[in-house]
Chains A and B, each alone.
Chain A
């Protein structure tokens, strides 16, 4: 079971798919609250949605340079995917969340230990 920080600017976003996998999810739709939570709580990985989610990676990496993140696109634009990859996310996935896909992603990301993140691509 992982401690997951979830951020989606859409306040209607539901994270049952993640909680149903047995993970603890702290979810936010406010960027400041998300960062505040990350600063004072143990987080294994963050799930971040959309352009605002990509913007969130920088402050999270200031908390820990190896902060693991998964980026979700709900209306994927290629320039956004390119921007996300500069920040070395564990993966870039699509919304709606597909449990099996996220499960595989989390297992792989968390298997490698806290200090190992995937590489970035300067796109």
Chain B
């Protein structure tokens, strides 16, 4: 056999392999593989080949196709989605970049090598093919093209083809093994055998003839190629196009991070259009030039091998690939079949939220966000008593810092602020942390004070008692800038309820010694530059609103707002509407408030099962977020979603909620789409998020998805922009910066930091044109919550025990609380290999004395049980958590992605907060009680 014939034979086989791995197998090809002619030829080949490896592959393929029934083609579509579109548990990841290090991050060095190989042959990947250049099909197609040229007489490509084949062979062998392991249908197992057989045969054919023993592999190749001749395969390259595309110039792009809510400035560096690295953005007010591990690993987020790639539609319980048109049409058609006021819209992040909220508000869909499952209890106090949910402390000047239930170092919300906190402690500022767990911030602190969950109000009120009793409060601030002091004083002194809030009283409730409470109260009052701050540790427990109010009362008593070292009052610039002159924002519909709490009404996610079973919700469109892992009792949330008749998920990854949905739309990550956003940390700025790289695969940014849905609903006139930047220009009208400035710098600082801004404003609320998350109706700090008064709720802070059935008892003697780790953001970062290498699992923290009593040692498998569920998890006995308290990092427990992939058993944790009581929250703001779950622990095994 001459070289041209051999090249022609290889061309046929490689084109076949390129075709079957490029996409779902087409119905035409499937039918052709079912014809008698093909099956006869394939069987004959499998029985006559000398190469037993190739024969085994041919026979496997014959056996599968010969036995394929009427439903097989559809089953293969499901299998393709599982294996190649990341719908399934064990995707095959058909990219050389993955196999280069066997790490599931794509767009690595092999991609650039492949692009260079294509350039040298004056080729480029068809831009319409949504996979990267190092996809197995592109490589097979390239080899096929080289063989086609050789077969056509261009012998100059022989060396190129040979060299490429050798250098890129090893990973394809591994791909075969992964495909064989992962496939459940039998078809791809057979293809794996067939491909491996071919690779080995081609290898034998490529070595000098004296090494070939005893047969001629070329003859086997020719026989296989002949068997494939009847199949309808492309005769020309179908994934490559002629012409050279030169590499895009390297870029350094100022942008912002969106890995968590901190929104730090970020500098992204690209090479040939590929994100290579991320770093801080100098001068940005949030990051201050710093970036944390989450932002620094953003490349692993964008290029995670577990990205959703294509719209998916579920049929018979399994996903199959769908086009955008088909998927969006189905969403709109199905949506119209229901009462829109019973279709919930959940947005877990607020990226470009003005556009998608406008659509779903117009449709009358009840909406929920991250807010009611995070810190709404805090907000019911701070957003009414003060002007913002979280007035961050000015650590730069502080000499005394008091933290209740917040882990500032880890939850961060701005690397500049975190660095300033560490610097403050280094220069001698006193940091006191009250927390049931010695968190990272508690470890940094001068003093860690363990405190029982949901007893913070008692301690804070007792501190107020000490300060008032000793006359140490700021009388000028209290007189001029607070409202309701006398009523508050009566409450603290026990004049209105006969319970003086003394340190001894608080000690009995909280477990914090009375002398400690007295001492820190005096220290705090006497310090010159100070601030007190709390967060979700006070929100995700029963008494969250009052605890927050009690804590903020310390700031109000001491007049720390906007003082050096105190909580700084926010003053973010307000953007103008995205709808400009002649453009009409869609009017709001009548979305119902699903759940009525004592202070807040809206859709409180933890009540999902109640809301579905009571007929308030028939369906849900869930954008970015994973209710199953974060909304409360996991079994109840799962049951609720399963009972819904209409469920759509828009996400970049196959989260547990997406698995339950009928349609899944693949979202672009935040580095593939843009937005502008006002922000604040001491100073005010407008921040820019750049589209650093083009959306991968067939993903689309949420604004595009929204506009397409609107168009299908006949609402296109309300979404009139030519592109997103037209909307940005509208939003920036009249503001002291331009879109060009934002693109060039990543941010524009609009207002400098200042102390005592409220004196200039004449109010604790910022002036017109500025925004914050709350509003004090009096313009002062309200010791008496005016909204609570309106709603008939006790407006003064107090300690209240939690519901009796949530209290610990002899059977369930521990309170469990989840916490955050630096390396993850809720449930959204678990497909980032860089982060998973650092934080790949979670363990149950248990005090060493408790562990000793239960004979539990490090690494033992234990059962964490509540009256409402149980979970098995490894134990981590430690002195860093109070006796009687258990804890574990939240966000873990995904069924898909790195945690679910059996190829990587070293990764994967559990979701302990998923065993909390169903359908319950704290009673003011609807926050799930993630840090107040009564439990017991049983050792399973060492």
Q: Which A residues fall within an 8 A CB radius of B?
A: 73, 75-79, 81-82, 85, 88, 91-94, 96, 98, 100-101, 104-105, 118-123
B196 on the A face (CB < 8 A) = yes
A96 touches B170 (CB 8 A): no
A101 touches B169 (CB 8 A): yes
> B-side binding surface: helix, strand, loop or mixed?
helix
A93 to B199: give the CA distance in the assembly, Å: 11
A119 touches B101 (CB 8 A): yes
B176 touches A81 (CB 8 A): yes
Shortest Cβ distance from A107 into chain B, in angstroms? Answer: 11
Nearest-CB residue, chain B, relative to A98? B166
A82 touches B203 (CB 8 A): no
A78 to B198: give the CA distance in the assembly, Å: 12
30 contacts between A and B (CB under 8 A): A73-B200, A76-B53, A77-B53, A78-B177, A78-B193, A81-B176, A82-B177, A92-B174, A92-B177, A94-B173, A94-B200, A94-B203, A96-B204, A96-B207, A98-B166, A98-B206, A98-B207, A100-B163, A100-B167, A101-B169, A101-B170, A118-B102, A119-B101, A119-B103, A121-B102, A121-B174, A121-B178, A121-B903, A122-B905, A123-B177
A104 partner residues in chain B, CB cutoff 8 A: 166-167
Known: A98-B203, A98-B206, A100-B163. 4 other contacts (CB 8 A): A81-B174, A88-B102, A100-B167, A122-B902
Shortest Cβ distance from A115 into chain B, in angstroms? Answer: 14
B166 touches A100 (CB 8 A): yes
Shortest Cβ distance from A69 into chain B, in angstroms? Answer: 13
Contact of B173 among A92, A100, A118 (CB under 8 A): A92
B52 on the A face (CB < 8 A) = yes
Nearest-CB residue, chain A, relative to B169? A101
* A122 and B196 in contact, given A82-B180, A94-B203 (Cβ under 8 angstroms): no
Contact of B903 among A79, A100, A118, A122 (CB under 8 A): A122
Contact of B166 among A78, A82, A101, A118 (CB under 8 A): A101
B181 on the A face (CB < 8 A) = yes
A79 to B177: give the CA distance in the assembly, Å: 7
A62 to B826: give the CA distance in the assembly, Å: 38
A85 to B173: give the CA distance in the assembly, Å: 10
Residue of A88, A91, A104, A121 contacting most chain B CB atoms (<10 Å): A121
Residue of A76, A78, A88, A120 contacting most chain B CB atoms (<10 Å): A78
Contact of B174 among A77, A85, A96, A98 (CB under 8 A): A85
A123 touches B178 (CB 8 A): yes
A120 touches B173 (CB 8 A): no
B211 on the A face (CB < 8 A) = yes
B338 partner residues in chain A, CB cutoff 8 A: none
B291 on the A face (CB < 8 A) = no
B53 touches A122 (CB 8 A): no
B354 on the A face (CB < 8 A) = no
Q: How many residues of B contact A (CB 8 A)?
A: 31
Nearest-CB residue, chain A, relative to B213? A96
* A81 and B170 in contact, given A76-B200, A122-B904 (Cβ under 8 angstroms): no
A75 to B204: give the CA distance in the assembly, Å: 11
B192 on the A face (CB < 8 A) = yes
A57 to B580: give the CA distance in the assembly, Å: 68
A79 partner residues in chain B, CB cutoff 8 A: 180
B905 touches A101 (CB 8 A): no
Nearest-CB residue, chain A, relative to B166? A101
Shortest Cβ distance from A88 into chain B, in angstroms? Answer: 8
Contact of B180 among A78, A96, A118 (CB under 8 A): A78
B167 touches A101 (CB 8 A): yes
A96 touches B211 (CB 8 A): yes
A39 to B364: give the CA distance in the assembly, Å: 73
User: Chain B 340-366, CB within 8 Å of chain A: the 1/0 string?
Assistant: 000000000000000000000000000
Q: Which 5 A-B pairs have the closest CB atoms?
A: A119-B102, A123-B181, A81-B177, A101-B166, A94-B203
Contact of B170 among A75, A77, A91, A120 (CB under 8 A): A91
A94 partner residues in chain B, CB cutoff 8 A: 169, 173, 199-200, 203-204
A118 to B53: give the CA distance in the assembly, Å: 27
Shortest Cβ distance from A87 into chain B, in angstroms? Answer: 12
* A120 and B102 in contact, given A76-B173, A92-B174, A96-B207 (Cβ under 8 angstroms): yes
User: Chain B 886-921, CB within 8 Å of chain A: the 1/0 string?
Assistant: 000000000000000011110000000000000000
B207 touches A123 (CB 8 A): no
A91 to B211: give the CA distance in the assembly, Å: 22
Contact of B176 among A78, A88, A96 (CB under 8 A): A78
B903 partner residues in chain A, CB cutoff 8 A: 121-123
Shortest Cβ distance from B246 into chain A, in angstroms? Answer: 26
B200 partner residues in chain A, CB cutoff 8 A: 73, 76, 94
Residue of B173, B196, B199, B211 contacting most chain A CB atoms (<10 Å): B173
Shortest Cβ distance from B199 into chain A, in angstroms? Answer: 8
Q: Which residues of B58-89 have CB atoms within 8 Å of chain A's CB atoms?
A: none
Nearest-CB residue, chain A, relative to B103? A119
A105 partner residues in chain B, CB cutoff 8 A: 170
Nearest-CB residue, chain A, relative to B903? A121
Shortest Cβ distance from B475 into chain A, in angstroms? Answer: 65
A81 touches B196 (CB 8 A): yes
B170 touches A93 (CB 8 A): yes
Shortest Cβ distance from B908 into chain A, in angstroms? Answer: 12
B166 partner residues in chain A, CB cutoff 8 A: 98, 100-101, 104
A91 partner residues in chain B, CB cutoff 8 A: 170
Contact of B196 among A78, A88, A120 (CB under 8 A): A78
A59 to B192: give the CA distance in the assembly, Å: 30
A79 to B189: give the CA distance in the assembly, Å: 11
A118 to B166: give the CA distance in the assembly, Å: 20
* A85 and B905 in contact, given A75-B52, A76-B196, A78-B193 (Cβ under 8 angstroms): no
A85 partner residues in chain B, CB cutoff 8 A: 102, 174, 177-178
Shortest Cβ distance from A56 into chain B, in angstroms? Answer: 19
Shortest Cβ distance from A100 into chain B, in angstroms? Answer: 6
